[in-house]
Chains A and B, each alone.
Chain A
Amino acid sequence: MADLEEQLAAMAGSIEWPPTPRLSLAVASKTRPARRAWAQPRWALAAVAVLAIVATLLAYTPTRTAIADWVNLHTNLRHTTALPTPSPLPSGTLGSNLGLGKQTTLEAAQSAVGWQVLVPAQLGPPDAVYLLMPPGGPSQGEVTLVYGPRPGITTASETGVGVLVTEARGSVNEQFFEKTAGPDTTVETVSVDGHDGWWISGKPHMFVFVDSNNEPRFETLRLATNTLVIDDGGTIVRIEGHMTKEQALQIAGTLA
């Protein structure tokens, strides 16, 4: 047999690929969500598809505006709020239904990522820790600390989570927040122990940052509520929870 690499390269032009679909930004937001393994009645699938399209079009200003631009819709779009349907209250470990990665311990997560994982002393030990490594996670991994009920902080009834602290190496800038902020979201610059921070209040759904490989990461804000973002020397820390700015800043002040 001829050299293996030569043979493989010789086949390049002769693979029977499925026909390439015509991609267009105008319909990009209407793509189906990832297909699930379980079968669903046709009407339910149709309803889910319609809801997904409506939610996508209504919930997120940049998307909606971009779609309108792309399809040249010369019409007034009504700004309303549509939150994503939360998963049912989990019966397993706290946060296990939030897609945060693999459950682990703080020590194991610390050793896997290599960079210093910051823990807010005020909240005590986390109730669960999750680790998301590449290729699913950012280039140097992402660690999420999950906290259940804590004094003075409302617990999200859908998830049972009080506070989520998510950390990854990378960078952010204010432009990202402006691009992704919806109509019910405000962004305010803050400072935490000399580090740049942003208080995103309202109902943010998405968070964009650039990981240490310079690749943009689009992450869903799991609790879709007030979020404090801090750039702690290249570690991007996100604190999500139903809390006031003062509460969030107080928690952030105890990160170590």
Chain B
Amino acid sequence: MEGRPADEAELLARAQRGDQGAFEEIVQRYQQVAFRVAYVITGSAPEAEDAAQEGMFKAYRALHTFRTGAEPRPWLLRIVANEARNRARSAGRRHQLQLRLADDFRPGDAAPSPEAAALAGDEHRRLLALVNELSDDDRLVITSRYLLQLSGEETAAALGIPEGTVKSRLSRALDRLRARVGDKTNG
């Protein structure tokens, strides 16, 4: 298609051939997801910014290690997530991640009235509060997969685990979240 923006693999190939502008474009395209992955890991926006920034720079320096034909996004996210984990570990202080629902939350077409929308909003807020209470590992896998909508490969990159392990870890995390939802409902 004429005028079509270059895809990420093409940009990365150009960056590998020395086109720095191409890598800068990749940074711009991925900065949001990279920052949010780092934020979920560190629980701190300033730490996440540092990690995403440094991760991008490390990726640039490691361009020669990127395998042609591989997906650039998981590769980049893995480097950023590793940087975020290292920073979180060496900071010697834990930030508790507190995800919140935006004030202008709209549940979508399913809500037929403002009252129903408010009820749906309350339900989602309660669910998010339970996600916040999960262990770090459970929260990270659920947030990566559903709230950040990462693919299985990208979730594996964010968690620093093999892709084959994501499914089982996600399943166990959902079971534990389901149990908490049940406790709240019954209690």
Q: Are B91 and A35 in contact (CB under 8 A)?
A: yes
Q: Are B108 and A216 in contact (CB under 8 A)?
A: no
Q: Are B148 and A12 in contact (CB under 8 A)?
A: yes
Report if B49 contacts A (CB, 8 A): yes
Q: Are B61 and A179 in contact (CB under 8 A)?
A: yes
Report if B64 contacts A (CB, 8 A): yes
**Max chain B C-beta neighbours (<10 A), residue from A11, A23, A210:** A23
- A71, chain B: closest CB distance, angstroms: 11
**With contact pairs A18-B45, A22-B31 given, residues A11 and B61 touching in the complex (Cβ less than 8 Å):** no
Closest to B51 in A: A31
- A100, chain B: closest CB distance, angstroms: 13
**With contact pairs A4-B181, A14-B106, A17-B36 given, residues A31 and B50 touching in the complex (Cβ less than 8 Å):** yes
Q: Which residues of B contact A12 (CB under 8 A)?
A: 146-149
Give the CA-CA distance A1 to B184 in the complex, in Å: 12
Q: Are A8 and B92 in contact (CB under 8 A)?
A: no
Q: Are B20 and A69 in contact (CB under 8 A)?
A: yes
Please pick, from B50, B102, B103, B146, the residue contacting A8 in the complex, using a CB distance under 8 A: B146
Give the CA-CA distance A11 to B148 in the complex, in Å: 10
Please pick, from A14, A21, A213, the residue contacting B35 in the complex, using a CB distance under 8 A: A21
**With contact pairs A4-B174, A4-B178, A136-B89 given, residues A10 and B56 touching in the complex (Cβ less than 8 Å):** no
Q: Which residues of B contact A73 (CB under 8 A)?
A: none
Q: Are B146 and A35 in contact (CB under 8 A)?
A: no
SS class of chain B's interface: helix, strand, loop or mixed?
helix
Report if A175 contacts B (CB, 8 A): yes
Report if A9 contacts B (CB, 8 A): yes
Q: Which residues of A contact B100 (CB under 8 A)?
A: 15-16
Report if A215 contacts B (CB, 8 A): yes
Q: Are B99 and A23 in contact (CB under 8 A)?
A: no
Please pick, from B34, B47, B60, the residue contacting A35 in the complex, using a CB distance under 8 A: B47
Interface string of A1-44 (1 = CB under 8 A from B): 10011011111101111101111110111011011111000000
**With contact pairs A9-B146, A134-B160 given, residues A23 and B86 touching in the complex (Cβ less than 8 Å):** no
Give the CA-CA distance A26 to B74 in the complex, in Å: 23
Interface hits, B1-54 → A, CB 8 Å: 20, 23-24, 27-28, 31-32, 34-36, 39, 44-50, 52-54
Closest to B64 in A: A175
Q: Are B102 and A1 in contact (CB under 8 A)?
A: no
Q: Are A18 and B48 in contact (CB under 8 A)?
A: yes
**Max chain B C-beta neighbours (<10 A), residue from A4, A135, A179, A208:** A135
Report if B167 contacts A (CB, 8 A): no
Q: Which residues of A contact B107 (CB under 8 A)?
A: 10
Q: Which residues of B contact A25 (CB under 8 A)?
A: 20, 23-24, 27, 56-57, 60
Closest to A175 in B: B64
**20 CB-based A-B contacts, threshold 8 Å:** A1-B123, A4-B181, A11-B147, A12-B146, A12-B147, A16-B102, A17-B39, A24-B24, A28-B54, A28-B57, A31-B54, A32-B46, A34-B47, A34-B90, A35-B44, A63-B61, A135-B159, A135-B160, A208-B61, A214-B65
* Chain B residues packing against A (C-beta within 8 Å): 20, 23-24, 27-28, 31-32, 34-36, 39, 44-50, 52-54, 56-58, 60-62, 64-65, 67, 70, 75, 78-79, 81-82, 85-93, 99-103, 105-108, 123-124, 127-128, 131, 142, 146-149, 159-162, 174, 177-178, 181, 185
Inter-chain pairs besides A9-B149, A134-B160, A216-B79, 17 sampled, C-beta below 8 Å: A1-B181, A9-B146, A11-B128, A14-B105, A15-B128, A21-B31, A23-B27, A24-B24, A24-B53, A25-B56, A25-B60, A31-B50, A37-B92, A62-B61, A135-B82, A214-B65, A216-B65
